[in-house]
Chain A
Amino acid sequence: MQSPSLLPSRPAAAGLLAALLLSGCASNLAPVRSVGEQTQKLSAAAHPMLAGAADSCMAKAMRQQLIMATRFDAQGSELAARQRCVMEEKTSPRLVALNEVLIAYGKVLVDSADGKVSSYKEQFKGLGEALGGLEQPGDGTPLLDAGQLSVVMKLAQYMSTLATQRMQKASLRELLAQQEAVNITSNALKEYTLRIHLPNLRDEAREVGQLRGAVGTMSGTEPLAANYVGTHLYQESKLLAQRQQAATAYVEAINAMQQSLAALAAHLDNLQDPQALAQVDDFAQRVAVLEHQVALPSPSRW
């Protein structure tokens, strides 16, 4: 059989060369993917807290009315509570919108770091089959023998993988260069948590403590009601403590996210850097803690 002159005569050696070329440009983007996934989880865990500011305010107002109003009227109290919490209702969509930008950022990081993006296995299978089916005109023998076919395929694969890996890297580099914007956006959510959400929870916890004291003094005259409300308030105080822990865990997870994004940006060409990997790992652990903390707490209904 006559070999086309452009192909190397020793396929094994050429195959080795192509394999070397391929291994040189292969990169492991798993840490980027992990940070993208954790960012999405972080934002998903924070959503109820950011979206539920009005619910929390309503629960606080209703609870206080029920226990302390001189004349309690459920419907009127609900109306008054709704009016009192109208500002929370109006402002929380702004926080939710910021959080959704972070979710979208996490998703595009995951999609861009996806192994499938620069993997052409499926596409090249078709090309390989097509090339393998080529026959010499006339005698029906294959145009390329198995060794030659493998070299051609590897070279083609190398060329397109190189092009798309470059695009993938460039894309990730640009996404990770948005650190300042990510930090400003996530710092806003952090500031909300520290300066507004946590003070709200602390006020609520203080008030629940006061109300428990008030209910305690009623136990002589109305023991059943006092015991019932007292138990509910006790549960509430535990829940408020958990919600405060969850808020603190959220802030810590945001810090870890910012640090791991900075580490990825600094080590995009060497993602196996131990320090960068440690940051990414720390972020995943903080998110796991947060997810555990938010599994229970959301304001109870009064």
Chain B
Amino acid sequence: MATPHALTKEETYAIADSLAQASSLVLDLRIRQRATLSQEEQQLLEKHENHLDMLVSLFRAYGIYLITEDAQQASSELLQAIDKGKARLKRITDIKAGIETAAKLVDLGAAILSRDPGALLEAAASLRSKPKKDDAPA
């Protein structure tokens, strides 16, 4: 038994293109012979033309399937790299938050040095508040 032959992309495109040409010839015939063809003949040609058009769609859709199937692996690798890039951006944002915390620590140190209980409480409270991350990337 012959091995089943899987259509290549090139074959798929070529078949679709020739079917489209065939459909165009049928339309041409319908236009040219409009006055001379019987109603039944007209309808039969119309049906054939529709079938041909449907086959064109089918083969071109199969072409899209083959194209996108081939790119599937690459695009999922790319998505992984994108996620990794986003994670790195988040780490950089975390460093920024660290600097803000450092500033608050200095304030706390100053408050301890000045022995000012009000400033001490204020600095301690600000250290507990969450660092702002307004420019964190999405």
Contacts and interface: CB of A to CB of B under 8 A. Distances in A.
B73 to A, nearest CB: 8
Contact of B64 (A116, A181, A196): A196
A21 B51 CA distance: 73
Given A104-B82, A181-B75, A196 B63 contact: yes
A61 B27 CA distance: 13
Summarize A's interface: helix, strand, loop or mixed: helix
Contacts of B137: 111, 114
A120 B96 contact: yes
Contacts of A123: 96, 99-100, 103
A130 interface: yes
Interface string B69-107: 011011101110110111011011001100110111011
Interface residues of A, number: 72
The residue among A80, A101, A123, A134 with the most chain B CB atoms within 10 A of its own CB is A123
B89 A188 contact: no
Contacts of A200: 60
Interface string A53-66: 00001000100100
Classify chain B: how many residues form its interface, as a range.
35 or more
Given A185-B78, A214-B31, A88 B57 contact: yes
Given A188-B71, A195-B9, A207-B24, A105 B39 contact: no
Interface in A94-119: 94-95, 97-98, 101, 104-105, 108, 111-112, 114, 116-118
Interface of A: 57, 61, 64, 68-70, 80, 84-85, 87-88, 90-92, 94-95, 97-98, 101, 104-105, 108, 111-112, 114, 116-118, 120, 123-124, 126-127, 129-131, 133-135, 137, 160, 163-164, 167-168, 170-171, 174-175, 177-178, 180-182, 184-185, 187-188, 191-192, 195-196, 199-200, 203, 206-207, 210-211, 213-214, 217
Interface of B: 9, 13, 16-17, 20, 24, 27-28, 30-31, 34, 39, 42-43, 46, 50, 53-54, 56-58, 60-61, 63-65, 67-68, 70-71, 73-75, 77-79, 81-82, 84-86, 88-89, 91-92, 95-96, 99-100, 102-104, 106-107, 109-110, 113-114, 135, 137-138
